[in-house]
Structure 1
């Protein structure tokens, strides 16, 4: 069969040029929508981007099936140190709204988010919280501790702001969002009652929580625990020898039975503290880690029990009660 002029000419092209042309044609076909990464059903939803898995779960709980949520930081990612990449910028630019935690949790993204607050329609879920209910960061009293989700009833106060933003973006879904927001607030109130009952199983003198960084101060205030972090509120703060030695002395003096690693913070700092405790011939201290590590700044994998906010809180409480609930 005779070749036409096009096919003969195509074979004469250098192989690299043929590959590049094929890639370009495939990309052009994608622009028609036939190969779009989002289905028509997804494209009809409100498209939002969230910085952390904890914020994403909050928005998904209120938004339900009417919202398509993308998350910049996955499970186990430390938001204090996260730097946005080119792909993240594209997601932020294409979203109808961006939900962040705020209060400087997204430390290295803070300037970027602030500069583009209006353009990207950035909403901090912590903005509606009364400032008198926030804890100042120990390193800087002019800023607040961002880990508000560890007080379940305080976190429940963020639901209304999310409902309002979604209703403004999607007025037809207003009643739907209102129903889901009310149901989720009730779920969180029930969770708060449940974990108070569980935590009561730990004797008062053993309610001391030592972790890699100071993420649990709201938990301590809400549920009557003493909370001590090796590092400050932000993991970006420097960790010095004096901090390790001071914590080691405290563990020895008070015979603390266990310290807790976090899924988003490397355990080496706490391990160094326990090495100091052994050198001081202190008590045997358990390092709670691996599958029992506490979730602090991020949820677990989506298909795990800690893949939701409520599941994460239950996991942490279960670990604490199991480690400290008996003498």
Structure 2
């Protein structure tokens, strides 16, 4: 883990940094604003009691279309640290963040992901697929960048952040292993994931699934009649029996897909609702990154033919914290 953490950080361990710094002074928590729930969860996991984190986008909110509100602007201008995703995820807010960076510490945490690991997309010219949280392996780079940003903002707590980073990286390893184990029983012919938009490419790459999105990488792209017709033909020809809706995307186009297949004599069901661009409701297990991915892994594998534990990795799905 030590060598892996050093590779992620690109510097020495935080523990080494901490040894040269005084103990954390008695002060209030670091005020952190994060755009997405996934980034907010990473900040809480790493920051612990040293941070007070506010997420701008809650359950069911689509970051591709989100614009900052007056209350968001007020929160960010008062924050000690602002964390946003980058990679053109918050496309409507980019100009604001670049302007804010002249006055506040602002970090686009997903921009630290090695570019050779990122997916490009034919429909997303000159941009990368931003949905790196769909892969726990990819998410480690974002988590490490969150840790780096917190340490720069509060260097006297470096040892605390380093300890929490080590723990959380171990949790991500365990989550990734669960994903591999739970999908291993999905029959090869069933390994086709049809979703509302193309948010699951990194999942597909890591776990051996073909991913077909009704919309492109951004939900701002249109799900045209031609695309619906093409996917209907694929569903029928390959006898795909389940498609998936997303909590942050309206399901009307997916319903049209199901109706189109039905008109051609092929029954398709909704295999479940997945968390794509937002996590679950506040106060639930699914409102954590671990819970979000646990839900997705378990839902996908179960709907496509694998035996899955009812409560997921640790029996927590559907049971809050």
Q: Which residue of 2 aligns with 1:125?
A: 109
Q: Which residue of 1 aligns with 2:279?
A: 299
> Which residue, 140, 153, 157 being the options, matches 1:156?
140
C-alpha RMSD of matched pairs (Å): 1.5
Q: Which residue of 2 aligns with 1:226?
A: 210
Q: Which residue of 2 aligns with 1:313?
A: 293
How far apart, in 2, do the equivalents of 1:175 and 1:95 lie? 22
* SS of the residue 2:274 aligns to: coil
How big is the shift at 1:109? 1.1
- Larger RCO, structures 1/2 (Cα 8 Å, 6+ apart): 2
How big is the shift at 1:185? 0.6
After superposition, give the CA deviation of every residue in 1:122-171 in whole Å (9 maximum; x if it has no partner): 11111211100000133123100000011111101222211111111112
> Which residue, 199, 202, 205 being the options, matches 1:215?
199
Q: Residue 52 of structure 1 contacts residue 100 of structure 1 at CA under 8 Å; is this kept in 2?
A: yes
The range that moved more, 108-117 or 212-221, is 108-117
Q: Which residue of 1 aligns with 2:73?
A: 89
* SS of the residue 2:236 aligns to: helix
Correspondence list, 1:40-189, <5 A: 44-189=28-173
How big is the shift at 1:326? 5.2
> Which residue, 233, 253, 259 being the options, matches 1:269?
253
> TM-score, with normalisation over the residues of structure 1?
0.84
How far apart, in 1, do the equivalents of 2:121 and 2:49 lie? 37
Provide structure 1 residue ranges, at least 5 long, that are not aligned to the other structure.
1-41
Check if 1:256 corresponds to 2:236: no
Computing the radius of gyration from Cα coordinates, the structure with the larger value is 1
After superposition, give the CA deviation of every residue in 1:91-148 in whole Å (9 maximum; x if it has no partner): 1111111101110111211221122223232111112111000001331231000000
> TM-score, with normalisation over the residues of structure 2?
0.85
After superposition, give the CA deviation of every residue in 1:156-215 in whole Å (9 maximum; x if it has no partner): 122221111111111221100000011101110111111100110111111110000000
How big is the shift at 1:301? 1.1
Q: Which residue of 2 aligns with 1:286?
A: 269
How far apart, in 1, do the equivalents of 2:177 and 2:46 lie? 21
Matched residues, number: 282
Provide structure 2 residue ranges, at least 5 long, that are not aligned to the other structure.
1-25, 308-321
How far apart, in 2, do the equivalents of 1:320 and 1:238 lie? 25
How far apart, in 1, do the equivalents of 2:305 and 2:104 lie? 47
Q: Residue 183 of structure 2 contacts residue 306 of structure 2 at CA under 8 Å; is this kept in 1?
A: no
* SS of the residue 1:146 aligns to: coil
* SS of the residue 1:229 aligns to: strand
How far apart, in 2, do the equivalents of 1:70 and 1:318 lie? 28
